[in-house]
Amino acid sequence: MLSLISVYDKTDIEKVAKKLNTIISTGGSSKYLRSHNIEVKEVSDFTGFPEILNGRVKTLHPKIFGGVLHLPNNTDNIQPISIVIVNLYPFFEKKTIENIDIGGVSLIRAAAKNYKYVTVLTNPNQYDTFLQNYPYNITEEYRYSLATEAFKLTARYDSEISNWFGRLLKK
């Protein structure tokens, strides 16, 4: 089972990562996991494409999104990604253009859309329940509840950004 980890808030991520089989991860997350003796594969090694624009583009790649959006009858030879653990740059705290997360929001939305086959975790507060249920009691109903929370997060995130842009226009 392939998992993707790309987190800004690394609180307790090592507890979850230690239970997972194969992990692909982005720069800071992979460095953090390795510091806890957890084996990870860099996203760029998985995709065969390096991060670009000083890390602004890391996960936006067909191998990543194809894996997240996989279906069981997939014939495209795409490796399924079954667990997506992503939390976002802290736009709520530091309202700057550089803290607008693009890839993270896209990954969360893709994983939530495909909740029948993908577990999406967006907050360290979800880790304990996940670990209590993983791997044998991860039900579709549980994944649906996580997807609902994921869409609530992205809606709130986009709303906050939209409001911020609106205030800038009024100045």
Burial of 136 (0-12, 13-18, 19+ CB in 10 A): exposed
Q: Determine the length of the chain.
A: 171
pLDDT tens-digit map of 115-145: 999 999 999 999 999 999 999 999 999 999 9
Query: 153 has which bridge partners?
Result: none
Overall number of domains in the chain: 1
pLDDT tens-digit map of 30-87: 999 999 999 999 998 998 777 766 656 667 788 999 999 999 887 778 899 999 999 9
Domain that holds residue 36: 2-170
* CATH code for the domain of 74: 3.40.50.1380
Quick one: pLDDT at residue 27?
A: 85
Q: How far apart are CA 162 and CA 6, in angstroms?
A: 24
152 token code pair: 């609530």
pTM of the predicted model as reported, rounded to 2 decimal places: 0.92
